[in-house]
């Protein structure tokens, strides 16, 4: 089970953090990988690493807020592989502020990067999946897409990630007839470039211990099993599912 040999997986946000970790996990399962992000130097380094698993790797410089970049990426992927089996929408970034102080620019940046891009990338690649009557879409939302929080003022991020959760359900319902599943993963606190500055503080560690039942942050690789499961051929009847991987944060 869970062998991805012969599958083509497109992963956005592959240049660091969770996207990079999932790219490696999918390559280890045998999938050919399209790694996308803006920092092409990082993707080229990752390509060398992934090719050790005897899979084909295509790095593409793509800003997920640019429709031109998204459309060009689709053409490149179709030209090289002729199909897309798996899409992981992982790219994300946030400008943080509370509802009383957030500027329009901060709101638009966050919603464009974390929600609108997921729609545009999904639209583009799901149209390729449809031709093949097969697909697995995995959206990386967040625990902040499910609940609010008392530690940080991140109102636009909550709105965007909550949008990703219900976008996932809508897409699951719409694309089921094409044998395309769509599910979301809601990670808890994982130390990456995005979160390091906050997670490293003594104050946040204390907050985490009182709110995460497992009393620790997620470590590199702990998202992978969930992602591989949802990407697998075997998960053919699993769609519209919102899977928190959060050490229990959202169960209390
Ligand atoms: P990182 O900052 O390590 O990675 C973010 C990735 O997104 C990078 O590869 C970056 O690549 C890419 N990215 C950002 N903006 C754009 C853009 N405009 N176009 C293309 N790529 C972009 O963060 P994480 O790995 O932590 O985050 C990955 C996802 O997981 C995000 O969606 C995040 O919201 C979510 N998440 C993370 C949690 C955590 O604790 N770490 C918790 C919950 C959710 P580049 O800069 O090269 O373009």
Coil, strand or helix: which one is 237?
coil
Take residue 99 and report the two structure tokens written for it. Answer: 């509802």
Catalytic entry in 144, 157, 189, 217: 157
Cβ(227)–Cβ(88) under 8 Å? yes
Of the candidates 160, 170, 110, the one whose C-alpha atom is nearest the C-alpha of residue 140 is: 160
Can you give the pLDDT at residue 90? 98
Mean pLDDT score, 205-233? 98
Can you give the pLDDT at residue 209? 97
Tell me if residue 157 is catalytic.
yes
Q: Is the CB of 64 under 6 A from ligand 1?
A: yes
Can you give the pLDDT at residue 138? 99
Question: What are the pLDDT digits (tens) for 127-152?
Answer: 999 999 999 999 999 999 999 999 99
Q: Please identify, by atom number, the ligand 1 atom nearest to the C-alpha of residue 65.
A: 18
Residue from 10, 17, 43, 61 whose mutation best tests the ligand 1 pocket (most atoms within 8 A of CB): 17
Place of tokens 């429709």: 67
What domains sit in the chain, N to C, each tagged with a CATH number? Answer: 8-187+223-244 (3.40.50.720)
Q: Residue 17 C-alpha to ligand 1 middle, in angstroms?
A: 7
Mean pLDDT score, 164-185? 99
Of the candidates 17, 121, 10, 106, the one whose C-alpha atom is nearest the C-alpha of residue 71 is: 121
> Which contiguous run of DSSP H or E holds residue 44?
helix 40-51
Of the candidates 233, 224, 195, 191, the one whose C-alpha atom is nearest the C-alpha of residue 11 is: 224
Can you give the pLDDT at residue 75? 98
What does pTM read for this prediction? 0.99
- Whole-number average pLDDT of the chain: 98
Mean pLDDT score, 17-46? 98
Query: For residues 18 and 38, what is the distance between their CA atoms, to the nearest angstrom?
Result: 15
Cβ(126)–Cβ(137) under 8 Å? yes
Mean pLDDT score, 38-47? 98
Half-sphere exposure of 128 (CA within 13 A, CB side): 26
Mean pLDDT score, 34-63? 98
Cβ(125)–Cβ(175) under 8 Å? no
Band (pLDDT 50/70/90 cuts) for residue 56 is: very high
Name the DSSP letter for residue 182. E
Mean pLDDT score, 54-68? 98
Q: Please identify, by atom number, the ligand 1 atom nearest to the C-alpha of residue 63.
A: 19
Question: What are the pLDDT digits (tens) for 73-115?
Answer: 999 999 999 999 999 999 999 999 999 999 999 999 999 999 9
Tell me the angle at which helices 117-132 and 155-175 cross, rounded to the nearest 10 degrees: 20
Mean pLDDT score, 43-54? 98
Question: What are the pLDDT digits (tens) for 220-245?
Answer: 999 999 999 999 999 999 999 999 99
């Amino acid at each position: 089970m869970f062998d991805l040999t012969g599958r083509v997986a497109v992963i956005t946000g592959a240049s660091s953090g969770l996207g990079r970790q999932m790219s490696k996990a999918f390559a280890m399962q045998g999938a050919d990988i399209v790694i996308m992000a803006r920092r092409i130097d990082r993707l080229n380094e990752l390509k060398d690493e992934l090719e050790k698993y005897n899979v084909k790797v295509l790095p593409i410089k793509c800003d997920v807020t640019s429709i031109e970049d998204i459309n060009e990426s689709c053409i490149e992927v179709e030209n090289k592989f002729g199909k897309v089996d798996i899409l992981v929408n992982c790219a994300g970034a946030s400008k943080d502020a509370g509802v009383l102080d957030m500027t329009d620019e901060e709101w638009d940046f966050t919603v464009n990067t974390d929600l609108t891009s997921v729609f545009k990338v999904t639209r583009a690649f799901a149209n390729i999946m449809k031709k093949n009557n097969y697909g697995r879409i995995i959206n990386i939302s967040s625990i902040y897409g499910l609940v609010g929080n008392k530690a940080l003022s991140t109102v636009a991020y909550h709105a965007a990630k909550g949008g990703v959760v219900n976008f996932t359900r809508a897409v699951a319902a719409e694309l089921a007839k094409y044998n395309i599943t769509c599910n979301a993963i809601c990670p808890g606190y994982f130390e990456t470039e995005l979160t390091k500055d906050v997670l490293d503080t003594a104050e946040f560690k204390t907050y985490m211990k009182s709110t995460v039942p497992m009393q620790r942050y997620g470590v590199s690789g702990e998202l992978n099993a969930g992602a591989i499961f949802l990407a697998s051929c075997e998960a053919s009847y699993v769609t519209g599912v919102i899977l928190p991987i959060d050490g229990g944060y959202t169960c209390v």
